[in-house]
């Protein structure tokens, strides 16, 4: 029998790239059935009708359907690709503006934008995984839903038995950019990395001859030879946000040159600089709503109205390839190396063994086996411990509905300067998110 794949959040504008890779690689995945599932009937109908036409007219033999019925979607599933966004980008933009109005970072995974997103998404994911246990307990869940660090902690806390890998395409995108700068094939390099999601560092870049190329990159940065990296992710090339982000990443490496930083550390190490750059009246959420969302749904409407997708195409980028590569590794037990979010369990020897961390791991039919890092330095360990405490308290607040725990989490977040600001932002976010957050008492 073939494999049934379900796109959970199939109406998302992040779906098209994954859908294209699944179409291209259906044979090697033994993919025979694809279901787009979403709670938003209009959005999933647009993407679903488009995909059915697109697959059929490109000769695909995969049976494509779309639905808002979770029981129907999940029954008999082998793989679930999860990327959901309760409140959509409209609520994201509201959160961003609330944070920025108080002079603090509003980003959707970092700072209190990430806190708010977590409190919206954790209840929804709990319901989804309960349905997985009911209808397809042996299915693999590959999660792209943000905020990945907090959500992975929630999943491992609530459902330790779930066959779930929480993944992010940011590390592979940065690694691709580094490889391009070094004029190397990405497959010829081994990247050593540790941290939390959106909160990690590369400690070495080993070429196929065993040489570490990080010192060369460090020298080029410190000497002023480079002030940015070319982006390897075609989906973000030309996007001013990512252009500035890659420049800021190099600035942070110059200030802390021991290890190469994940770009999201810009929000924790230089939050004042990030707030200064942001437009409090037109945020990243607004940009996505008026850009990618509009473009993709208009194209779906055009194709549906024409009754054909022959003059349309989907782009298979890093986002789509990474999640499908991991599914392929599980199906064929290839034990290839990927960066995933996984229980530490001693991999970082001087860090909480029960904490979820982001590490390279070998992925096969049995899941992920993380590499051993050993001890990490005091600076990075201190940052991670504070961040992990914030993440764990955020999960606890979402699961218990405790206002006091939520406040403790907020005050621990490195982007919040003091209790007065933190409480004001928390209260305003709660008022704006009562439809999705658990009740806090």
Residue tagged active-site, from 259, 264, 268, 322 = 264
In this structure, are residues 149 and 342 in contact, taking their beta carbons and an 8 Å threshold? no
- Exposure of 139 in the CB half-sphere (CA atoms within 13 A): 29
Among 169, 193, 246, 267, the one annotated catalytic: 169
What the block records as the tokens of 179 is 């490889």
Active site residue 169: yes
CB atoms within 10 A of CB 269: 17
Exposed / middle / buried, residue 126 (Cβ in 10 Å: 0-12, 13-18, 19+): middle
268 given a catalytic annotation: no
Count of helices and strands (H, E) across the chain: 18, 12
For residues 201 and 255, give the distance between their C-alpha atoms in angstroms, rounded to a whole number: 14
For residues 377 and 428, give the distance between their C-alpha atoms in angstroms, rounded to a whole number.
37
Token pair 């995933």 in the structure block, residue: 340
Cα dihedral value 141, 146, 150, 152, nearest 10: 10
DSSP 129: H
Residues tagged active-site: 169, 264
């Amino acid at each position: 029998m073939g494999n049934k794949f379900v796109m959970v959040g199939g109406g998302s504008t992040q779906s098209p790239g994954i859908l294209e890779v699944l179409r291209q690689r259906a044979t090697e995945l033994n993919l025979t059935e694809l279901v787009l599932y979403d709670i938003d009937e209009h959005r999933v109908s647009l993407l679903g009708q488009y995909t059915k036409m697109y697959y059929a007219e490109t000769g695909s033999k995969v049976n494509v359907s779309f639905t808002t019925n979770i029981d129907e979607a999940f029954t008999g599933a082998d793989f679930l690709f999860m990327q959901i966004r309760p409140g959509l980008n409209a609520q994201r933009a509201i959160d961003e503006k609330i944070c920025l109005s108080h002079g603090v970072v509003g980003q959707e995974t970092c700072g209190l934008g990430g806190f708010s997103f977590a409190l919206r998404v954790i209840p929804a994911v709990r319901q989804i995984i309960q349905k997985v246990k009911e209808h397809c307990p042996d299915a693999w869940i590959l999660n792209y839903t943000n905020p990945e660090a907090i959500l992975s902690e929630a999943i491992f806390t609530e459902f330790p038995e779930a066959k779930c890998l929480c993944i992010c395409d940011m590390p592979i995108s940065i690694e691709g950019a580094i490889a391009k700068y070094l004029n190397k094939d990405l497959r010829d390099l081994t990247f050593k990395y540790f941290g939390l999601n959106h909160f990690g560092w590369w400690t070495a870049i080993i070429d196929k001859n065993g040489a570490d190329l990080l010192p060369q990159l460090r020298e080029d940065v410190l000497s002023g030879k480079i002030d940015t990296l070319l982006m390897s992710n075609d989906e973000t090339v030309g996007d001013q946000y990512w252009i500035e982000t890659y420049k800021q990443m190099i600035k942070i490496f110059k200030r802390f040159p021991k290890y190469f930083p994940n770009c999201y550390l810009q929000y924790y190490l230089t939050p004042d600089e990030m707030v200064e750059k942001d437009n409090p009246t037109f945020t990243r959420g607004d940009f996505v709503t008026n850009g990618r969302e509009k473009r993709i749904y208009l194209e779906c409407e055009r194709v549906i109205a024409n009754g054909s997708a022959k003059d349309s195409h989907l782009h298979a980028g890093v986002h789509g390839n990474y999640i499908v590569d991991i599914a392929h590794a599980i199906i064929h037990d290839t034990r290839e190396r990927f960066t995933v979010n996984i229980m530490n369990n001693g991999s970082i020897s001087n860090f909480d063994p029960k904490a979820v961390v982001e590490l390279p791991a070998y992925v096969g039919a049995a899941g992920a086996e993380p590499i051993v890092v050993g001890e990490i330095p005091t600076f990075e360990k201190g940052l991670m411990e504070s961040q992990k405490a914030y993440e764990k308290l955020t999960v606890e607040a979402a699961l218990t509905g405790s206002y006091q725990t939520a406040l403790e989490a907020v005050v621990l977040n490195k982007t919040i300067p003091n209790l007065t600001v933190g409480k004001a932002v928390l209260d305003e976010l709660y008022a704006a998110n009562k439809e999705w957050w658990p009740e806090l008492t």
